[in-house]
Amino acid sequence: MEPTPWKTALTDARPNAVRIRGYAVEQLMGRLDFGQAVYLLLRGELPDERAARLINAILVSCIDHGPAVPSTLAARTVASTGGPLSAAVAAGILAVNAIHGGAIEGAARALLAAEAADAFVRAVPEGSGGVVPGFGHRIHTHDPRAARLFELAAEAALAQREMAAAREIEAALERRHGRRIPLNIDGAIAAVLLGLGFEPEVMNGFFMLSRAAGLIAHAREETVREHKMRSMNRPPPVYDGPAARSVTGTRSQNPEA
Amino acid sequence: MEPTPWKTALTDARPNAVRIRGYAVEQLMGRLDFGQAVYLLLRGELPDERAARLINAILVSCIDHGPAVPSTLAARTVASTGGPLSAAVAAGILAVNAIHGGAIEGAARALLAAEAADAFVRAVPEGSGGVVPGFGHRIHTHDPRAARLFELAAEAALAQREMAAAREIEAALERRHGRRIPLNIDGAIAAVLLGLGFEPEVMNGFFMLSRAAGLIAHAREETVREHKMRSMNRPPPVYDGPAARSVTGTRSQNPEA
Amino acid sequence: MEPTPWKTALTDARPNAVRIRGYAVEQLMGRLDFGQAVYLLLRGELPDERAARLINAILVSCIDHGPAVPSTLAARTVASTGGPLSAAVAAGILAVNAIHGGAIEGAARALLAAEAADAFVRAVPEGSGGVVPGFGHRIHTHDPRAARLFELAAEAALAQREMAAAREIEAALERRHGRRIPLNIDGAIAAVLLGLGFEPEVMNGFFMLSRAAGLIAHAREETVREHKMRSMNRPPPVYDGPAARSVTGTRSQNPEA
Amino acid sequence: MEPTPWKTALTDARPNAVRIRGYAVEQLMGRLDFGQAVYLLLRGELPDERAARLINAILVSCIDHGPAVPSTLAARTVASTGGPLSAAVAAGILAVNAIHGGAIEGAARALLAAEAADAFVRAVPEGSGGVVPGFGHRIHTHDPRAARLFELAAEAALAQREMAAAREIEAALERRHGRRIPLNIDGAIAAVLLGLGFEPEVMNGFFMLSRAAGLIAHAREETVREHKMRSMNRPPPVYDGPAARSVTGTRSQNPEA
């Protein structure tokens, strides 16, 4: 009831001036890539080169996974009804939950609790499938994104303790279940973001930021390539884009390169 | 009814392999920043350095504008009820419409139609305020983000024709209305994205991508700094974050640097 | 910037008292059905019995249409990721657009403009399929809901002029296209709501209110009957609920009964 | 991967026929009010008169609470940006969470667990404010909606055990906290819906269904009465609608009447 104004420490927006964490936004434009700006906004300080490279790798890792995953299917379904782009993107974001893209926060908590990985893994109730957020995947037995992210973190000599904790949980899962339940990209992101000092509560946001790009691309493809309100209940979609190819001659973000 | 599968040209996701526009995602991680990956996904090819710098500048430009704008207020309102992060972000995205962040597509169409800027501006109905999407701002008479984006595009020698069209509309608006109705960041983004070859229909997506970062930061700040379900109907918030400061020693993204 | 408070004419909520359009909500509870309360809130006055029966019939008409329609598919997709009920319902609502459930407003505008139905129908661009919102259906050649709603409106001697306009557009569409493009439930609702005095701008809301019940039921069915994050891209679902049956002995809402 | 179709027991939609739980929808139209149809869809059978009256009373109870509550503020914020009605309603629904409208499910679980109310109340962690979902209210010390709903349930001789459990929790809360933390409308709805045999998981849906009507009314009022993208950060709104009045001569839904 009292009329004291509330406060924000993120951005100071005044007539003809917008300062992000103290920095004039126009000074940041052209100097920071988006990953650096995300780090600044969420953490309050600029990242060094190594952290910036990892943040961008995380944002690249989840940018798309084809049309059949829940977030993308929800976005394409809304697009198929002629809805505006913002409605398609919002519907896709709403499908980011514990089972899809939203395991990063839970994985971070698991890593923080995993002093004794076997005890932790044993404590997971049987009824929940016995699994831990960030481990196991519907189609990937060896998630290439998770492996690459850990490779990059190792190159940067960051998040070493958290990566070790992830490996311990993986081993404990195999001991309990008698089969490999491998680290997935959610779990790998959790380990790296913990190593960089992020709070678990904002971590699922990295998946949302990354996948929002895919949702935009799919909403547009739906509008251009399909007729309105077509049935989505049909066989899985087939990829007909560019054949497999490799990046050559692109500037690596590796600070050592 | 026929069971032919539908098609996608964006991403080929198979067991243990995810290819974005033909590139293995793990090869992109560590080599591309997020702006480059967004360009690749939406356009189908990798950007050159100049285009990549502009895309990142666009994504940085709208990353936050403080808590009082509609998208942020909607996200904080949802966060104040204890909703999950995805609900707060989705609610914020739903506030991106023609009046707020969603003028980029309309501005692009205006620029494409602006062969004869005076005729175009005269054709805008009086009832709509006589304005053109991408021009005029509630609080900025000189939007520092728009000026900086055009400076960067000029440095890159890109979007020159589209920037000229924007200046012509600005001049025509001043002639019709007798006062300056300046280009805003939406209009500047539209000109640069047109110059880079993007379709108008995906352009509002850049605002959504950028601002999603702000929505995440504000949802978290709301949860940490305010009590649940507090009244939002009170005086505008006050900034209490870091004082004004400057970037020094940060690697410039300027390819000429 | 001026601190004058804004105003609302809908509800006066104070400590221990909530008045809807002037009526204490606890006095309305037990006296009004939900259709009557919706009418009161949107129109400002209580409906008579005939109007109340039509409003309830409209709300019943769109309550569900099986799992394959876009709104329901979006809601089930979100539910399949473990999202909260509010996220599933919101995603479903976001699929209510011009092509699905959101043609009521457009149909009302068509009916208002249909003084000369042939001229109106001729003016529809060829590229848009030549159709008018509220006419034609993907699977129904004779929409039983539209027929029944007009039967009820005829019994009530309401919306007669608007129903005639709908029939004229139907006839003009047949003359132009050489085949029947029948009134659908969106068009029928538009005619009846116009007859009852509602503004076109709120009319799509009746579909949202009605279908929200279906979204809740499907989100729950998804959770109970399907495994998490299952593929939606498969053959259309099969109905296995109660066999066809009839209402007997239920109090008719017909005021004449 | 197997191509077996999935199943639904809710609605059988075929060309020219839509059956809700076995009943042809056109037979339900004009015979059921919306509350009865919601009961049929969610429970599978038609309600008797007493249950139908309670369902409608629940749907009426939460239809609106003025513009300052989170769901309504989110919807009005989206409407203020020119978004479509579906976006405003979806944003409002997203604000239905544990703190606002979404305590019904939790309250139902509390009532089910409240064999020994004192032990239950003592088990609530101090850190959570010591409160139980469905008890306490930001502005109502005596929620007139909760009192009326219990009065109606008592008249119908339904949900007696669940109402008693609610009173026991209320008493146990007073014993623990030394002050009255009264049953609110969420808690009262939970007790009545439990008594009617609904599952806790669908109960928050009743608030969403009910409040969706308010969201539609407020989105429209925002568009009509306020200028676009106005600041919401200002003093609380003032009611200027019809003065207090009473229903007279309206058909009571009381089956005994």
Q: For C91, which residue in chain B has the nearest alpha carbon? A: B90
Are B67 and B227 spatial neighbours (Cβ–Cβ below 8 Å)? no
Q: What is the pLDDT of residue B1?
A: 44
Are D249 and C246 spatial neighbours (Cβ–Cβ below 8 Å)? no
Indicate the residue of A16, A147, A235 with minimum beta-carbon distance to B141: A16
Task: Name residue C17's amino acid.
Answer: A
Of the candidates B126, B134, B99, B136, the one whose C-alpha atom is nearest the C-alpha of residue D222 is B99
Q: Sort C199 into a burial class: Cβ within 10 Å, 0-12 / 13-18 / 19+.
A: middle
CB atoms within 10 A of CB B63: 26
Q: Which structure tokens are listed for D28? A: 């339900």
Question: Is C86 within 8 Å of B86 when comparing Cβ atoms?
Answer: no
Cβ contacts of residue A90 below 8 Å, gap of 6+?
B90, B91, B93, B94, C90, C91, C94, D87, D90
C133 has a pLDDT exceeding 80: yes
Q: What is the pLDDT of residue C254?
A: 47
Indicate the residue of D6, D27, D246 with minimum beta-carbon distance to C237: D6
Q: How confident is the model at residue A126 (pLDDT cuts 50, 70, 90)?
A: low
Secondary structure in 3-state letters for chain B: CCCCCCEECCEEEECCEEEECCEEHHHHECCECHHHHHHHHHHCCCCCHHHHHHHHHHHHHCCCCCCCCHHHHHHHHHHCCCCCHHHHHHHHHHCCECCEECCHHHHHHHHHHHHHHHHHHHHCCHHHCCCCCCECCCCCCCCHHHHHHHHHHHHHCCCHHHHHHHHHHHHHHHHHHCCCCCECHHHHHHHHHHHCCCCHHHHHHHHHHHHHHHHHHHHHHHHHHCCCCCCCCCCCCEECCCCCECCCCCCCCCCCC
A89 has a pLDDT exceeding 90: yes
Secondary structure in 3-state letters for chain D: CCCCCCEECCEEEECCEEEECCEEHHHHECCECHHHHHHHHHHCCCCCHHHHHHHHHHHHHCCCCCCCCHHHHHHHHHHCCCCCHHHHHHHHHHCCECCEECCHHHHHHHHHHHHHHHHHHHHCCHHHCCCCCCECCCCCCCCHHHHHHHHHHHHHCCCHHHHHHHHHHHHHHHHHHCCCCCECHHHHHHHHHHHCCCCHHHHHHHHHHHHHHHHHHHHHHHHHHCCCCCCCCCCCCEECCCCCECCCCCCCCCCCC
Residue with more model confidence, C44 or B3: C44
Residue B85, min C-alpha distance to chain C (Å): 11
Q: What is the pLDDT of residue C255?
A: 44
Q: How many CB pairs under 8 A join A and C?
A: 117
Element (H, E) at A214: helix A200-225
Chain segment D33-86, per-residue pLDDT in tens: 999 999 999 999 999 999 999 999 999 999 999 998 999 999 999 999 999 999
Contact status of A129 with chain C (Cβ, < 8 Å): no
Indicate the residue of A87, A209, A241 with minimum beta-carbon distance to B213: A209
Q: Which structure tokens are listed for D231? A: 């600041």
Q: Residue length, chain C?
A: 257
Instruction: Give me the interface pTM, i.e. the ipTM.
Output: 0.93
Low-confidence ranges of chain B (pLDDT < 50): 1, 254-257
Chain segment C57-102, per-residue pLDDT in tens: 999 999 999 998 999 999 999 999 999 999 999 999 999 998 899 9
Of the candidates B24, D74, B47, B198, the one whose C-alpha atom is nearest the C-alpha of residue A216 is B198
Tell me which chain D residues have a C-beta less than 8 angstroms from the C-beta of A83: 84, 86
b/e map of D163-198 (b: 16 or more CB within 10 Å)? bebbebbbebbeeeeeeebbbbbbbbbbbbbbbbeb
**Residues β-bridged to residue C24:** C19
Give the three-class secondary structure for C251. Answer: coil
Q: What angle do CA C224, C227, C231 make, to 5 degrees?
A: 125
Interface test with D, best of C4, C18, C99 (most D CBs within 10 A): C18
Q: What is the pLDDT of residue C256?
A: 41
Low-confidence ranges of chain D (pLDDT < 70): 1-4, 115, 126-130, 249-257
CA distance C197 to D184: 36
Q: For A21-43, what is the mean pLDDT?
A: 97
Are C221 and A221 spatial neighbours (Cβ–Cβ below 8 Å)? no
Q: What is the pLDDT of residue C249?
A: 59
CA distance B82 to D129: 14
Neighbouring chains of C at 3+ CB pairs under 8 Å are: A, B, D
Q: Sort C141 into a burial class: Cβ within 10 Å, 0-12 / 13-18 / 19+.
A: exposed
| A219 backbone dihedrals φ, ψ, rounded to 5° | -60, -40
Question: Is D34 within 8 Å of C31 when comparing Cβ atoms?
Answer: no
**Rounded to whole angstroms, what are the CA distances from C189 to C65, C124, C135, C218, D157?**
16, 21, 12, 24, 38
**Rounded to whole angstroms, what are the CA distances from D8 to C68, C74, C140, C224?**
10, 15, 20, 11
Give the three-class secondary structure for C27. Answer: helix
The residue with tokens 């996974």 is A65
Q: How confident is the model at residue A249 (pLDDT cuts 50, 70, 90)?
A: low
Q: What is the pLDDT of residue B163?
A: 96
Interface test with B, best of D77, D89, D105 (most B CBs within 10 A): D77
Indicate the residue of B138, B231, B235 with minimum beta-carbon distance to D229: B138
Q: Longest Cα pair distance anywhere in chain B, in angstroms? A: 63
**Dihedral in degrees, nearest 10, Cα atoms B135, B138, B144, B145:** -70
Q: What is the pLDDT of residue D127?
A: 55
CA distance C44 to C10: 8
Q: What is the pLDDT of residue D254?
A: 47
Contact status of A232 with chain C (Cβ, < 8 Å): yes
Q: Longest Cα pair distance anywhere in chain D, in angstroms? A: 63
**Residues β-bridged to residue B24:** B19
Question: Is A205 within 8 Å of B84 when comparing Cβ atoms?
Answer: no
Contact status of C70 with chain B (Cβ, < 8 Å): no
Q: How confident is the model at residue A256 (pLDDT cuts 50, 70, 90)?
A: very low
CA distance D23 to C244: 6
Question: Is A234 within 8 Å of B5 when comparing Cβ atoms?
Answer: yes
C1 has a pLDDT exceeding 90: no
Residue A162, min C-alpha distance to chain C (Å): 27
Interface test with C, best of B2, B8, B86, B233 (most C CBs within 10 A): B86
**Dihedral in degrees, nearest 10, Cα atoms C68, C74, C76, C80:** 130
**Residues β-bridged to residue C257:** none
Q: For C86, which residue in chain B has the nearest alpha carbon? A: B87
Q: What is the pLDDT of residue A255?
A: 43
The residue with tokens 């504008």 is B65
